[in-house]
Every structure is written in C-alpha cells, then in structure tokens.
C-alpha cells in the first residue's frame, strides 16, 4: 500500500535523483525548441505538401537536426528513467524502441494534441487582448489623456498583454502534450510486457510437448 509507495519513492530519490534532475532540466529546457522543430518536421513529412518542398529546398537541416538530436529528448525518456532507474541516455534509446511499436498512433495523437494546444493558445491570447482593451478603454484613469495613469497606444499594449498571456499559458499547454505521450508510452509498454509474458508461457507450454515428440521420433 502506501508504505510500499513511500519505500519506492525513497529508493528513487536516493539512487536516481541525479538522473531524474538531469532529465528534467534537459527535457524541460529543450521542450519549446522540440515543439517548434517537431511541428516543422511533421509538416515537412506530409506527402504532397507545398510547404515541405519549400522547406527541404531552403533548410533541409531542420528535419535531420530534429531526428538526430531533439526527437530523443521526449517525456518518454523521463518516464523510462523513473520506471527502470536507468541512465538518461539508455532511457532515451529504450523510449525510442517502445515508441516504434506505436508510431502511427503517436503521430495521430500528437496531431490532435497540437490542434488542441493551438486553439487554447489562440483563445488565451484573445482573452489577454480583450481584457486589456476593456480595462484601458473603460477605466477613466487609463483612458483619460489628462490622467497621470493614462495609457497611450492602446492596441500596442493590448497585443503585448496577449503575448504575455500566451507566454504564461505555454508551459501549461505543454502539460497536455506530456500527459498524452506518457499515457501512450505506458500503454504500449504494458502491451509489450504482456506479449512477452504470453510468448514465454507458450514456450514453457511447448517445452514438454516438443521433448516428448522428439523422444517418440527417436
């Protein structure tokens, strides 16, 4: 029960806290760059896409850079570190092997999550813009040119407020991406373990039978 969970947490913090901290720092720092370049890479890999031809002609290194470096720094590597207590670099390789089993599902899930994130970020920017516009235009201290708190260039400050709201909401939007990747990774890992256990049971069940058949043939 809860005592077992506390014991596991103690072992995790005692022996693997360094790997977890390193994974959290690297993956968290590279998350915005991975998000941007991953989106460009996904668009480039779409068949019959005019943008892909333009990008491959102008800057083909984006896809190679993402595939060789940034693609490995995913939340799945952090989950593998927590689950198996393995070093970060080994965890990234294990995560790649697991995600190859469900690449099609992962692409569909990432596409859906990306659309959801774009809609939420657009709404957040719009709310920040509207709230600032209403505050500046409706409060006399901000809209009266004779006031000491008068705010000139209303539209510019509204755009800035929307961008600030967008920046504050970006880490929260990344939680949805991380959660979806983690759920899919754990489900795929569970399926792989069940298949491996079933394969071992079949081999054990076929062991005595195969030995009897070989004895009868002799």
Token pair listed for 100: 């190859």
Within 8 A by CB and 6+ apart from 14, the residues are none
Q: Is the pLDDT of residue 140 over 80?
A: yes
Show the DSSP H helices in 16-153 as ranges. 17-44, 50-58, 61-68, 75-84, 88-99, 103-138, 140-143
Residue 121 or residue 213, greater confidence: 121
Q: Is the pLDDT of residue 146 over 70?
A: yes
H or E element that contains 15: helix 2-15
Q: Is the pLDDT of residue 44 over 80?
A: no
According to the model, what pLDDT value does residue 201 have?
81
Q: Is the pLDDT of residue 12 over 70?
A: no
Band of residue 48 on the pLDDT scale cut at 50, 70, 90:
low
* Tens digit of each residue's pLDDT (9 = 90 or more) over 60-105: 677 777 777 777 777 777 778 777 777 777 878 888 777 777 777 7
Tokens 């569970």, residue located: 190
Q: What average pLDDT does this structure show over 106-115?
A: 75
Asked whether 161 and 129 are in contact (CB, 8 A), the reply is: yes
* Tens digit of each residue's pLDDT (9 = 90 or more) over 187-201: 888 888 888 888 888
Separation of alpha carbons 94 and 83, rounded Å: 11
* Tens digit of each residue's pLDDT (9 = 90 or more) over 14-31: 666 777 777 777 777 777
Q: What average pLDDT does this structure show over 117-144?
A: 88
Mean pLDDT comparison of 36-40, 134-138, 172-176, 214-218, highest-scoring range: 134-138
Token pair listed for 83: 């689950």
Band of residue 212 on the pLDDT scale cut at 50, 70, 90:
very low
H or E element that contains 155: helix 154-217
Q: Is the pLDDT of residue 177 over 90?
A: no
Q: At what angle do helices 88-99 and 154-217 cross, to 10 degrees?
A: 80
Within 8 A by CB and 6+ apart from 137, the residues are 143, 154
Going from the C-alpha of 23 to that of each of 11, 16, 28, 78, 171, the distances in angstroms are: 17, 11, 8, 6, 17
Separation of alpha carbons 17 and 3, rounded Å: 20
Band of residue 164 on the pLDDT scale cut at 50, 70, 90:
very high
């Amino acid at each position: 029960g809860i005592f077992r969970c506390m014991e596991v947490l103690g072992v995790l913090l005692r022996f693997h806290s360094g790997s977890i901290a390193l994974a959290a720092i690297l993956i968290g720092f590279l998350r915005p760059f991975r998000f941007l370049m991953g989106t460009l890479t996904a668009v480039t890999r779409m068949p019959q896409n005019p943008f892909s031809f333009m990008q491959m002609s102008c800057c083909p290194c984006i896809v190679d850079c993402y595939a060789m470096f940034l693609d490995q720094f995913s939340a799945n590597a952090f989950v593998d570190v927590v689950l198996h207590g393995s070093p970060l670099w080994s965890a990234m390789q294990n995560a790649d092997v697991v995600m190859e089993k469900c690449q099609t599902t992962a692409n569909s899930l990432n596409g859906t999550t990306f659309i959801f994130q774009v809609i939420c970020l657009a709404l957040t920017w719009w709310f920040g813009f509207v709230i600032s516009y209403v505050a500046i235009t409706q409060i006399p201290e901000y809209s009266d040119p004779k006031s000491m708190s008068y705010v000139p260039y209303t539209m510019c400050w509204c755009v800035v407020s929307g961008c600030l709201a967008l920046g504050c909401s970006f880490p929260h939007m990344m939680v949805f991406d991380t959660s979806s990747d983690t759920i899919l990774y754990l489900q795929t890992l569970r399926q792989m373990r069940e298949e491996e256990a079933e394969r071992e049971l079949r081999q054990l069940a076929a062991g005595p039978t195969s030995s009897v058949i070989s004895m009868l043939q002799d």
